[in-house]
Amino acid sequence: MRSFGVEEELLLVDPGTGTAVARSEAVTGNADDAPGSELQRQQVETDTAPCTSLDELAEQVRDRRASAAKAAEAEGCQVAALATSPLPVRPKTTAGDRYERMIEAYALTAQEQLTCGCHVHVGVESDEEGVAVLDRIRPWLPPLLAMTANSPFWQGDDSGYASYRQQVWGRWPSAGPTEPFGTPEAYHEAVRAMIDSGALLDEGMVYFDARLSRHYPTVEVRIADVCGLADDAVLLAAVVRGLVETAAREWRDGEPPAPVRTEVLRLASWRASRSGLTGELVHPVTGRPASAGGVMRALLDHVEPALSDLGDRDAAEELMGRLVRGGTGADLQRRAYKEGDLAAVVREAVSRTLRR
């Protein structure tokens, strides 16, 4: 039973106006179980412990969100699971040498980088297994972005994208999909070459869509927006664990990675960022346009044996059905905007963040 865990970045907002507020230092110092800080002072990060069951993970995701909300409330603000701020905001950088170096090195790219993602860690037995997994999950990462798209607004305007966070995040020099690595040695050599180039400050800035964790024996999938609903984060975690288990089995059975070019993966990610679950996506197997519903079905079918063995199939099917019927976070934000204004979008998001 592979362990897995979730890291979520949450936006700090003013209860009245919905504007993002720079209070992370106070919020993160509020309690022993308070969230951690991130690049910008308008956001905080929560993380679960390693879990083995989906029920355990779901409870921890909800508990971490509730703890973050409590810590924020004590400082006069709220947390919202929004991948970008709907209202205009000027990010304020968290104090610290590394963050200051990032601002100096990357200028406007870092200054504007107020985005919130969801990262899923899944345990692997070795770097060899981990790299084998990275090489085999590549085509299936863009659908994860489509199903979690939760950032349609940017600086007060509708961006036209379901996940504009992906467009902003893609400005980092190391962000995006990768070529297959083949071996752990090749993976680590690629990382060393990137750092030696001088374009990255350190290994922590290797922002691949999926990577080997620096600190834990896990594969870390980083492509997703933070999910508006805790249930959607749970679905994402279940599917990612299923993808990792499926890929590891393929590797053990001697199945090679699919020969998908990185250029096509970039297009697939762009399409997922633009469309979410509305319209067509790039099919992970054929590389051709396909309905979003059809791609979600293909994703679940691909990981079905692993989900069944892990005991997650029924929950994943139910949660995916709800998501496809109800829409992504981007869809829900746009619906709220039609009925009100951007402040109403934020209020709805605050409510959804803690909804069970």
Check residue 135 and give its pLDDT.
Answer: 98
The rounded distance, in Å, linking the Cα atoms of 22 and 15 is 13
Q: Which of 32-46, 116-130, 225-239, 262-276 has the lowest mean pLDDT?
A: 32-46
**Could you give phi then psi for residue 305, rounded to 5 degrees?**
-60, -40
Check residue 37 and give its pLDDT.
Answer: 86
pLDDT of 34 over the 70 cut: no
The rounded distance, in Å, linking the Cα atoms of 87 and 89 is 6
User: Which residues form the domain of 250?
Assistant: 4-353
Host H or E run for residue 80: strand 78-80
Q: What is the value of pTM for the model shown?
A: 0.97
The rounded distance, in Å, linking the Cα atoms of 312 and 95 is 41
- Report how many domains make up the chain: 1
pLDDT category of residue 35 using cuts at 50, 70 and 90: confident
Check residue 69 and give its pLDDT.
Answer: 96
pLDDT of 130 over the 90 cut: yes
pLDDT category of residue 140 using cuts at 50, 70 and 90: very high
Domain of 90, CATH number, reads 3.30.590.20
pLDDT of 30 over the 90 cut: no
Strand partners, 218: 123
pLDDT category of residue 33 using cuts at 50, 70 and 90: low
Six token digits for residue 143: 């659908």
At 220 the three-state DSSP class reads strand
pLDDT of 32 over the 80 cut: no
The rounded distance, in Å, linking the Cα atoms of 201 and 65 is 31
One-letter identity of residue 259: P
The rounded distance, in Å, linking the Cα atoms of 70 and 338 is 30
Six token digits for residue 84: 């970008």
Mean pLDDT along residues 246-254: 98
pLDDT of 36 over the 90 cut: no
Check residue 127 and give its pLDDT.
Answer: 98
Mean pLDDT along residues 157-175: 98
By the 10 Å C-beta count (0-12 exposed, 13-18 middle, 19+ buried), 36 is classed as middle
Check residue 125 and give its pLDDT.
Answer: 97
pLDDT category of residue 31 using cuts at 50, 70 and 90: low
User: What CA–CA distances, in Å, run from 29 to 49, 72, 74, 156, 195?
Assistant: 20, 10, 11, 30, 32
Mean pLDDT along residues 238-259: 98
pLDDT category of residue 29 using cuts at 50, 70 and 90: confident
The rounded distance, in Å, linking the Cα atoms of 276 and 161 is 8
Residue 70 or 35, more confident: 70
What's the full length of the chain, in residues? 356
